[in-house]
């Protein structure tokens, strides 16, 4: 069937949205590359892959579906390595329906690759979550939404004093018997543990053997404990400045002399990366500027750390499992726990990109890199995702001049917005 040129917005019928068109051409756009821009770009997608990228000039193939970007941006799809929920669902609900809802919600905000992230909870709840993610991952050629690249095993191995909004009753120290079963599913690709916990070393070494991207989070670790974890394979710290150690918190734990914390360890060690929640609620503009200036776009990731409140009305929700999770209040901007702390973000990755750009005034290619190629590199999927490169999956966004998402393609398939 021959397709003709259309303006922005989903216009294909349901049958066409279930499979990539033979040929899609995106034109009248500026392409965002990892280290610069390509004005007047012309992107050709074939059979779910990026087939060609060049300046405009040639006529589109006769069989092409042409998308007019109207002078906006064409960007790689975003990669979110730390995300709990959205659209009223949480991955820890442990059902395929919940997983589909979250993946569809974040696709509308530009995330084309997602790592569903566990909270604290019982072993049964964690296994149900992983099983549900596997079901949806295996069917996504049909169901659509952000593509699941693996599970982020985040909870339950947090420090007792750094649980935050996660259900405290589901926190515990790691044991080989428990975490070996999670890794045995073959779905865990990112693995988090507080570095100071008994059993953390065994956890990190196992995760390293499994080829995981290994992180330390919800931790009050000292410099020495971080260095020990680094030698075991840990390379990342979750949500910088949130639920992590500081010089003051370590002094309260260990006394004097004062010791370096997770912050100092990340800033001093070029092998470490970290992430920021740039929703405008967790961190001030100067902290976002500081993180970008000190770490740069190759060591700093944007994440949503989003809850089920994304795209939902203000009100009270559960963080984590719909029954056993903790209550939080969504005020329309962010989640807030009853004790006054923050409870995850309530917005998608497109919001993070806009906020980070406004706060830092860094080049747009730096900002998009932190939401796409850098997380893809860190998780080992950059050969398939994260940049507009010939041969990679056609995970592509069309953005307005103000960085609003107007079109999302996952593997060349247009997603409903």
pLDDT for res 19? 58
β-bridge mates for residue 26, sequence order: 43, 67
* Residue 208 confidence (pLDDT) above 70: yes
- Residues 6+ positions from 109 with CB-CB distance below 8 Å: 78, 310, 347, 348, 349, 350, 351, 405
DSSP letter, residue 337: -
Sheet order of strands, 111-116 included: 78-83, 111-116, 147-148
* Residue 234 confidence (pLDDT) above 60: yes
Phi, psi torsion values for 107, nearest 5 degrees: -60, -35
Q: Looking at domain 78-378, does it have CATH number 3.20.20.140?
A: yes
Q: Mean pLDDT over residues 367-392, rounded? A: 98
Q: What is the pLDDT of residues 55-78, one digit of tens each?
A: 987 777 778 899 999 999 999 999
How many Å is the Cα radius of gyration of the chain? 21
The domain 14-76+390-414 is placed in CATH, from the list 2.40.160.20, 3.40.50.1700, 2.30.40.10, 2.40.180.10, at 2.30.40.10
Query: Between the CA of residue 59 and those of 24, 26, 63, what are the distances in Å?
Result: 13, 12, 11
* Residue 12 confidence (pLDDT) above 50: no
> What percent of the chain clears pLDDT 90, i.e. is strictly above it?
90
* Residue 2 confidence (pLDDT) above 50: no
* Residue 13 confidence (pLDDT) above 70: no
* Residue 4 confidence (pLDDT) above 70: no
Query: Between the CA of residue 35 and those of 234, 359, 382, what are the distances in Å?
Result: 27, 20, 15
Residue 176 CB-half CA count within 13 A:
4
pTM for this entry? 0.94
Structural domain boundaries in the chain = 14-76+390-414, 78-378
pLDDT for res 7? 33
pLDDT for res 61? 77
Q: Mean pLDDT over residues 343-369, rounded? A: 98
Q: Mean pLDDT over residues 138-156, rounded? A: 92
Q: Mean pLDDT over residues 367-380, rounded? A: 98
pLDDT for res 10? 30
DSSP letter, residue 384: T
* Residue 127 confidence (pLDDT) above 50: yes
* Residue 14 confidence (pLDDT) above 80: no
pLDDT for res 340? 83
* Residue 190 confidence (pLDDT) above 90: yes
Which of the residue ranges 21-25, 50-54, 143-147, 178-182 would you say has the lowest mean pLDDT?
21-25
* Residue 338 confidence (pLDDT) above 50: yes
pLDDT for res 144? 86
* Residue 297 confidence (pLDDT) above 50: yes
pLDDT for res 21? 65
* Residue 101 confidence (pLDDT) above 50: yes
**Domains 14-76+390-414 and 78-378 belong to one CATH topology:** no
- Residues 6+ positions from 38 with CB-CB distance below 8 Å: 30, 31, 53, 55
- Asked if 417 and 408 touch (Cβ cutoff 8 Å), the reply is yes
């Amino acid at each position: 069937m021959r397709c003709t040129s259309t303006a922005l917005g989903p216009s294909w019928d349901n049958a066409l949205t279930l499979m990539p068109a033979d040929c899609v051409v995106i034109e009248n756009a500026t392409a965002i590359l990892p280290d610069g821009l390509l004005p007047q770009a012309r992107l050709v997608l074939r059979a779910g892959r990026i087939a060609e990228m060049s300046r405009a000039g040639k006529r589109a193939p006769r069989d092409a579906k042409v998308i007019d970007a109207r002078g906006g941006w064409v960007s790689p799809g975003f990669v979110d390595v730390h995300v709990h929920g959205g659209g009223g669902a949480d991955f820890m609900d442990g059902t395929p329906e919940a997983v589909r809802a979250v993946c569809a919600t974040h696709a509308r905000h530009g995330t084309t690759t997602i790592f569903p992230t566990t909270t604290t909870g019982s072993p049964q709840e964690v296994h149900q979550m992983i099983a549900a993610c596997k079901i949806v991952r295996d069917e996504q050629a049909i169901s659509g939404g952000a593509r699941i690249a693996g599970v982020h095993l985040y909870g339950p191995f947090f420090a007792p004093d750094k649980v935050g909004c996660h259900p405290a009753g589901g926190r515990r120290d790691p044991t080989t018997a428990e975490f070996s079963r999670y890794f045995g599913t073959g779905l865990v690709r990112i693995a988090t543990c507080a570095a100071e916990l008994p059993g953390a070393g065994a956890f990190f070494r196992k995760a390293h053997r499994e080829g995981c991207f290994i992180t330390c989070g919800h931790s009050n670790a000292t410099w020495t404990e971080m260095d020990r974890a680094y030698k075991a394979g840990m390379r990342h710290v979750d949500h910088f400045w949130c639920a992590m150690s500081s010089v003051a918190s370590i002094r309260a734990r260990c006394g004097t002399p004062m010791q370096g914390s997770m912050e100092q360890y990340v800033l001093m060690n070029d092998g470490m990366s970290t992430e920021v929640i740039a929703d405008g609620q967790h961190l001030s503009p100067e902290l976002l500027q500081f993180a970008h200036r000190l770490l740069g776009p190759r060591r700093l990731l944007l994440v949503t750390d989003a809850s089920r409140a994304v795209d939902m009305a203000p009100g009270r929700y559960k963080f984590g499992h719909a029954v056993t999770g903790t209550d939080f209040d969504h005020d329309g901007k962010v989640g807030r726990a009853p004790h006054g702390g923050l409870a995850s973000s309530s917005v998608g990755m497109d919001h993070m990109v806009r906020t980070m750009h406004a706060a830092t005034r860094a080049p747009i290619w730096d900002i998009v890199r932190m939401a796409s190629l850098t997380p893809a590199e860190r998780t080992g999927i950059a050969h398939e995702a994260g940049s507009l490169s010939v041969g990679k999956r056609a995970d592509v966004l069309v953005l307005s001049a103000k960085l609003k998402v107007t079109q999302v393609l996952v593997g060349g398939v247009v997603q409903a917005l």
